[in-house]
Amino acid sequence: MQNPPLIVVEDLAKTFVLHNADSATIPVFEGLHLEVGPGECVVLAGESGVGKSTLMRSIYGNYLPTQGAVRVMHDGAYVDITKAAPHSVLDIRRRTLGYVSQFLRVIPRISTLQLVMEPLLENGVDPQEAQERAETLLNALRLPKAHWDLPPATFSGGEQQRVNIARSFIRNYPVMLLDEPTASLDAENRAIVVTLIQQALDRGAALIGIFHDHDVRDAVATRLFEVNQFKAAA
């Protein structure tokens, strides 16, 4: 009881129904249970198509599960993100639940530095301090200074991914979801991301990740979770 889990997934099921393709149904998983506590990094395992990203997106409130609950510890109480009102999902994402996707959703005209500072500004951090922290992180991720004032639309895949990582790690989210954050990075940058992940674990964050890179996985995982064991019958 000392360290209650920060994420509790209960009896979760997800089936996609494609109404415009003869109402094809695609069952993904059912009866899925998962708890993740502070300082844990649970790595979702299984081959491509097994539902790792679907599970992660369901936890983030991006996909709507067919059944079950995803309880997130938010302000000291569990909130079921699958049933929470949109404004409270947004509040959970703003303050509790960080997400690093594989791809950066670029907003035209907004500079890299602004983009990285944004999560802090939204939480009322002083702009000066936000800028300093953004610069520290962009430096650590070795993103050339000449890029900072540019919108990341024209950056390479690896550069965009580092902007994305900076944007998520700038805030110390209690829970973080990492969907292949190192997919398009070289070895040195991967090592930096591993350090960021370990720092997050040290401060007691709960992490759920998808890593195809075995070195990264072995370096950060405290536990593997086979999504396959909850595979829904087709």
Partner 1 sequence: MNAISQTIQAAPLLRVSGLNKWYGHVVGCRDVSFELRPGEVLGVVGESGSGKTTLLNCISGKLQPTSGAVEFDTSRFGLTDIYGLNEPDRRRMQREEWGFVHQNPRDGLRMRVSGGANVAEPLMNLGDRNFGRMRQATIEWLERVELDTRRIDDKPRNFSGGMQQRIQVARNLIHGPRLVFMDEPTGGLDVSVQARLLDLLRELVRDLGLAVIIVTHDMAVARLMADRLIVMKGGFVVETGLTDQVLDDPQHPYTQLLVSSVLQI
Kindly tell me which of 110 and 150 has the beta carbon lying closer to partner 1. Answer: 110
Asked whether the beta carbons of 49 and 22 are under 8 A apart, the reply is no
Q: Is 15 in the site for partner 1 (CB under 8 A)?
A: no
What is the CB neighbour count within 10 angstroms for residue 234?
Answer: 7
Query: Rounded to the nearest whole angstrom, what is the least distance from the CB of residue 211 to partner 1 in the complex?
Result: 22
Q: Is 62 in the site for partner 1 (CB under 8 A)?
A: yes
Residues numbered 76-135 forming contacts with partner 1, rule: CB under 8 A: 77-80, 83-90, 107-110
Nearest to 207 by CA among 179, 170, 183, 186: 179
Of the ranges 74-82, 165-173, 174-182, 216-224, which one interacts with partner 1 (CB under 8 A)?
74-82
Nearest to 165 by CA among 129, 189, 132, 198: 189
Inter-CA distances, 215 with 87, 123, 144, 193, Å: 38, 34, 26, 12
Query: Rounded to the nearest whole angstrom, what is the least distance from the CB of residue 108 to partner 1 in the complex?
Result: 4
Q: Is 22 in the site for partner 1 (CB under 8 A)?
A: no
What is the CB neighbour count within 10 angstroms for residue 159?
Answer: 21
Kindly tell me which of 40 and 180 has the beta carbon lying closer to partner 1. Answer: 180
How many residues line the site for partner 1 (CB under 8 A)? 26
Of the ranges 5-13, 60-68, 130-138, 166-174, which one interacts with partner 1 (CB under 8 A)?
60-68
Nearest to 165 by CA among 129, 128, 216, 215: 216
Nearest to 113 by CA among 178, 166, 157: 166
Which parts of this chain interact with partner 1 (CB under 8 A)?
16-20, 57, 61-64, 77-80, 83-90, 107-110
